[in-house]
Amino acid sequence: MPTSAVPLLRIERGEVEEGIQRGHLAAVDAQGTLVTSQGDPSRLTYFRSCAKPFQAIAALRTGIVERFGLTAEHVAIMCASHSGEPRHVAVVRDLLAHAEIDESSLQCGTHWPYDEAAASVVRREMTEPLAVFNNCSGKHSGMLAAARVLEAALASYLEPSHPVQQRIRQVVEEFTGCAAADVIYGIDGCSAPNAAVPLSAMARSFAQLVTSDDDAARTAVEAMTTHPFLIGGTKRFDTALMEVTNGRLLAKGGAAGAHCTADRRSGRGLALKLEDVDGTWVSVAVMAALAGLGWLTPAEQQALDRFAHPTLRNHKGLEVGRVTAV
């Protein structure tokens, strides 16, 4: 029988416990064997944006780097959930320009930049957001570039039957070790197909990602850890985690409280899922897990303490509570 979710986060306001967030986590070794877990490691979980390195690998295997002369920054933005800051938007547009694709081809939808400073600037310049501001625009640009190499239709690049999406399915099965029949697909917030697998398989995929001798996987890992700002942005957890550890840890979060981390030194993978689909405080749970696994040095933990022990503030900026790991 599956194990129920366990308490991972405690939200306190004043002296009162205001809420508990429950969830699951699974950690595997370099061979993909489960070494520790909390809750249910078999919990079926959508990758959401944790899938981006694997979606990028499928695109890279079509030869887009060689065909279009792409750089490591282009590859990093394909793996990103970026904040829409000027540098992010510039790299997305440069990727599209290299592939000779108009940004009107992006089908990821629009939203204002996550970064407040960037959003305040562009809101003064336009009344509606652009697709390039979307945190998934780099991923979609990579898919479009792959479609161009494959001489497949650009207009239908998000259809499950499209050659690009079929190649992504193969990569997901390869890195998770799951049979095709065991992978369930839904539609992500950016309208791309997204895979759901057991949480332990998500952890296995990230262990495989950082230990693989596949050229495309190595290219994606190096791009992400060499250019962590492009993966998230200012004040973003994944960016800070990779910066503080000098790329020893690879991190990629997703919506609905999903997060994956891999330790390149040991080859181990970690996947975590909060049952509350609001993943605002997922970094607190991830930091507690990383500390428990011994993946962070004391100095690194101190440098990342703001993500491990955030404070709750009201609209006046007053400190009114805290979030802690259970």
The pLDDT tens digits for 133-173 are: 999 999 999 999 999 999 999 999 999 999 999 999 999 99
Phi, psi of 10, rounded to the nearest 5 degrees: -120, 125
DSSP tag of 275:
S
Would the pLDDT of 52 be above 50? yes
Q: What is the pLDDT of residue 61?
A: 98
pLDDT exceeds 50 at position 11: yes
> Closest Cα to residue 52, out of 119, 112, 116, 139?
139
pLDDT digits (tens, 9 = 90+) for 251-293: 999 999 999 999 999 999 999 999 987 889 999 999 999 999 9
The token duo for 101 is: 């694709």
- Output the CA torsion sign for 93, 96, 97, 101: negative
- Assess contact for 325 and 308: CB atoms under 8 A: yes
Contact 47, 195 (CB under 8 A): yes
Mean per-residue pLDDT of the chain: 97
Pairing of strands 184-187, 44-46: unpaired
User: What would the mean pLDDT of 166-194 be, rounded to a whole number?
Assistant: 98
Confidence at residue 291, expressed as pLDDT on a 0 to 100 scale: 96
Helix axis angle for 52-60 and 163-176, nearest 10°, is 120
Share of the chain above pLDDT 90, in %: 98
Instruction: Please tell me the predicted confidence (pLDDT) of residue 276.
Output: 81
**3-class secondary structure, 68:** helix
Q: What is the mean pLDDT of residues 15-25?
A: 95
Angstrom distance (rounded) from CA 75 to CA 56: 7
pLDDT classification of 111: cutoffs 50, 70, 90: very high
Query: Which pair of structure tokens corresponds to residue 277?
Result: 């689909």
Please name every residue paired with 322 in a beta bridge, in sequence order, or none if there are none. Answer: 12, 311
Average pLDDT (42-65) is 98
Instruction: Give the number of other Cβ atoms within 10 Å of residue 212's Cβ.
Output: 17
- Does the pLDDT at position 1 exceed 80? no
Q: What's the pLDDT tens digit per position in 189-236?
A: 999 999 999 999 999 999 999 999 999 999 999 999 999 999 999 999
pLDDT over threshold 90, residue 3: no
Half-sphere exposure of 298 (CA within 13 A, CB side): 0
CA distance 233 to 114: 9
Q: What is the largest CA-CA distance in the chain?
A: 61
Residue located via tokens 């503080």? 244
| Other beta carbons less than 10 A from residue 177's beta carbon | 14
How much is the pLDDT for 232? 98
Q: Which pair of structure tokens corresponds to residue 265?
A: 């030194």
What count of other Cβ atoms lies within 10 Å of the Cβ of residue 183? Answer: 18
Using pLDDT thresholds of 50, 70 and 90, give the confidence band for residue 2: low
Residue 71 in this model has a pLDDT that exceeds 50: yes
